[in-house]
Amino acid sequence: MMNIDAKIGEPILYIIYGLFIAVCCFFIVRQDPKTIWYVPILCNAIGIYAAIDEPNFWISSLWMFICGGWVLSIIASVIGYYIGRRSVARQANTTK
């Protein structure tokens, strides 16, 4: 069994977690574009709580990965909003 060093393992897990949250934000907002106002906040609620409550959050270097995940989820939500809005408009035009 392979042993991964914690210095490498933690950032990799935070990157995977951030990408997973960003993909989820994209699909949720694409499905319902009105949710762009609260989906990134709800999906990142644990990280936001940790940033507020954890005293060592800003001291460690892992905050960069977590905040990078927040930025990715906002970008993915905006892209999902524009794609979802276009598909909703296209569906409205075909039903008329």
Q: Tell me: the pLDDT tens digits for 9-46?
A: 888 898 999 999 999 999 999 999 999 999 999 999 99
With respect to residue 4, please indicate whether it lies within any of the assigned structural domains. Answer: no
The mean pLDDT of the chain is: 88
Distance, in Å, from the CA atom of 29 to the CA atom of 38, rounded to the nearest integer, reads 10
What pTM did the predictor assign? 0.83
Residue 49, domain extent: 15-95
Number of domains the chain contains: 1
Scored b (16 or more CB within 10 A) or e, 57-91 reads eeeeebbebbbebbebbbebbeebbeebeeeeeee
Helix axes 63-95, 6-31, angle to 10 degrees: 20
With respect to residue 48, please indicate whether it lies within any of the assigned structural domains. Answer: yes
With respect to residue 84, please indicate whether it lies within any of the assigned structural domains. Answer: yes
With respect to residue 6, please indicate whether it lies within any of the assigned structural domains. Answer: no
With respect to residue 58, please indicate whether it lies within any of the assigned structural domains. Answer: yes
With respect to residue 42, please indicate whether it lies within any of the assigned structural domains. Answer: yes
Hunting for tokens 């977690």 — which residue is that? 17
